[in-house]
Amino acid sequence: MELEAPRTGRALVVIVDDRVAHGDNPDSSGPLVTELLLEGGFVVDGVVTVSADEVEIRNALNTAVIGGVDLVVSVGGTGVSPRDVTPEATADVLDHELKGISEALRSSGLSAGALDAGLSRGLVGVSGSTLVANLASSRAAIRDGMATLTPLAAHVIEELSRLEG
């Protein structure tokens, strides 16, 4: 009998990208985040792609929270352009922010040379019993962000599950 590796929890990936949402570009971020989540012990429920629209982003995040995933990772829409509205949509979903994790993502990303991570306005926080995290969209920001986020997410999810149990 083979033992299954312990799982950290269930996760969903939300890609915020107008071009991908409209079929104009293939999605390269979703597979990367999925791979990194699987390596971190998560079961990935899926990848959802939405346009850079506050309502669409908020609906995707709320659907994930209502669906009971432990972690939602959104990628994209965290910068300084007028279409970068992921932080605003995320703020509407969160019960409270975890600013230390947001700052850790920015700091480690900048140290790794991912300028978009360092300039990101992305948020991290809790909605119900779900951890929600915004990452910048470059491959470097995603790789570094997931390396920083995964152990912190595991700890937060463990804390939240103790409160429920």
Structural domain for 90, as ranges? 9-164
Q: CA dist 145 to 19, 80, 130, 150, Å? A: 23, 18, 18, 8
Kindly state whether residue 107 falls inside one of the protein's structural domains: yes
Kindly state whether residue 98 falls inside one of the protein's structural domains: yes
Kindly state whether residue 62 falls inside one of the protein's structural domains: yes
Q: Residue 99 is encoded by which pair of tokens? A: 């600013």
Q: How confident is the model at residue 52 (pLDDT cuts 50, 70, 90)?
A: very high
Q: How confident is the model at residue 3 (pLDDT cuts 50, 70, 90)?
A: very low
Kindly state whether residue 56 falls inside one of the protein's structural domains: yes
Kindly state whether residue 4 falls inside one of the protein's structural domains: no
Q: Total domain count for the chain?
A: 1
Contact of 53 with 16, CB cutoff 8 Å: no
pLDDT in tens, 136-157: 999 999 999 999 999 999 999 9
pLDDT of residue 5: 45
Q: Which CATH number is 39's domain given?
A: 3.40.980.10
Residue whose C-alpha is closest to residue 71's, from 162, 153, 146, 147: 153
Place of tokens 């300028």: 115
